[in-house]
Copies of this chain bind each other. A is one copy, B any other.
C-alpha cells in the first residue's frame, strides 16, 4: 500500500515522474520536455500544490533571499522606531531563510545613494529604503528594478520611480488630518498658522498643502494667517513663532508639520497662550509628554514608524519568499495622539533602551519581568 504523500512527492507519484522532474517543472528550470512540464503544472494546479516553506528554507540552508535595508539612524525617536519595526519583523522572517543587510545612514538623504549602490552590489534581492532624496535616487531605484531587485520605500516615497511599493503616511493626508482636527478645534473665523521645516522639502510642502486645503472646510471663515519656516533650527523656530504670536494676537491655532515642535511649545508658553492657541504637532517623542499634560499640545499626528517598518519587511519578504504581489502603495492613516491615549504609545516609554549597536540588536528582552511564561 502506497504511503500517504504530499507536496512534490504526491505530484511525482501522480505524474509518474521523479521528484527532480517535478521540481524542474515547478521552477521553470530548463532541461525538461515542454509537454511533461505542462502536464506536471496542471497536476500541481489541480491538487492545489503549495510548497512547504519550512522544508524549502531547511533545504536551501542558506539565505533564500537577501533584503537590504537603508534607513537613517537620526532623528532619534522616529527612525529608532522604524528600525525596531524592521528588525522585529526581520527576526521573524529570518526563519524562512531571509537574510538582512542593514545599511543605516546617518541622516535622511545623506549618503543614501552610496548605501543603495553598495546594497545593489552586494547581491540583494530587495531593498527597503527611506527615499530622502527622490530625484537623486530615482535612477538608482529604476536601475535596481530593471535588474530584478525589488525596491520598497518606507516612510518617504520616491513616487516618480519604479519602486515596487511604498509604505507610508501620505504627507498630504497627514496635513489634511491636521487641518480637519484644527478646523474643528477652533471657532469659526479663526486665524491659524503653519510652522514648517522648510517648504522646499516635498514632504513638508505637501503637508502644508493638505492642511491649507482642509482647514477652511472645517472652520467656517477660517484663514491661514501665516506659514513660517523654522529650517529645523531651534532658535529660529522659537523666534519666528514668538514674533508670529506677537504680530497676530488673535491667532487660534498652530500646525507644526515637522518633528521640531518643542521650540514652538516654548514660544507658546513664553507668550502665555497655552491652551488658547491650539497646537497640532507631528510625530511623537518623550520630550513632548509634558506639553501634552499641560495642554500646550492639543494633539499630534503620528506616523507610526514601528508599524511602517513591520509592514515594509512583510511586503518584501512575502514577495521574495512566496511571490505575493506588491500593492502599489500601502497608505497608512496617522495616529491621532492626544493626552488620553498618549501613554499607550511605546515612544513615550523612556526606559526602553535605544539601539546603539548596529546592525545587530537584541530584539526581545526575555528578562522583562512584566511578562509571564
A147 on the B face (CB < 8 A): no
Interchain CB contact under 8 A, B340 and A214: yes
Residues of B within 8 A of A323 (CB): 373
| Chain B residue at minimum C-beta to C-beta distance from A365 | B325
- In whole Å, how far is A86's beta carbon from the nearest beta carbon of chain B? 16
A350 on the B face (CB < 8 A): no
Bound CA–CA A258/B285 (angstroms): 32
Contact of A54 among B57, B187, B334 (CB under 8 A): B57
Within 8 A of B (CB), among A181-211: 181, 184-185, 187
Contact (A340, B372) CB under 8 Å given A54-B58, A298-B184: no
Interchain CB contact under 8 A, B370 and A340: no
A105 on the B face (CB < 8 A): no
A332 on the B face (CB < 8 A): yes
Within 8 A of B (CB), among A56-113: 57-58, 95-97
A371 on the B face (CB < 8 A): yes
Given contacts A185-B185, A336-B336, 10 further A-B contacts (CB under 8 A): A53-B95, A54-B58, A55-B58, A164-B372, A173-B340, A176-B341, A179-B340, A180-B338, A323-B373, A325-B371
**Chain copies in the assembly?**
2
Residues of B within 8 A of A331 (CB): 344
Within 8 A of B (CB), among A210-253: 214
Interchain CB contact under 8 A, A173 and B341: yes
Contact of A181 among B57, B179, B324, B338 (CB under 8 A): B338
Bound CA–CA A179/B96 (angstroms): 46
A291 on the B face (CB < 8 A): no
Contact of A373 among B95, B187, B325, B339 (CB under 8 A): B325
- In whole Å, how far is A47's beta carbon from the nearest beta carbon of chain B? 16
A289 on the B face (CB < 8 A): no
Contact (A341, B345) CB under 8 Å given A58-B52, A372-B325: no
Q: Is the interface of A mostly helix, strand, loop or mixed?
A: mixed
| Chain B residue at minimum C-beta to C-beta distance from A187 | B187
Interchain CB contact under 8 A, B184 and A96: no
Q: Mark A327-347, 1 if CB is under 8 A from B, else 0.
A: 110011111111111001100
A1 on the B face (CB < 8 A): no
Interchain CB contact under 8 A, A338 and B54: no
Residues of B within 8 A of A278 (CB): 184
Contact of A333 among B95, B344, B370 (CB under 8 A): B344
Bound CA–CA A180/B344 (angstroms): 15
Bound CA–CA A185/B187 (angstroms): 9
Interchain CB contact under 8 A, B54 and A97: yes
- In whole Å, how far is A212's beta carbon from the nearest beta carbon of chain B? 13
Residues of B within 8 A of A55 (CB): 54, 58
Bound CA–CA A370/B326 (angstroms): 9
Interchain CB contact under 8 A, B333 and A335: yes
Residues of B within 8 A of A313 (CB): none
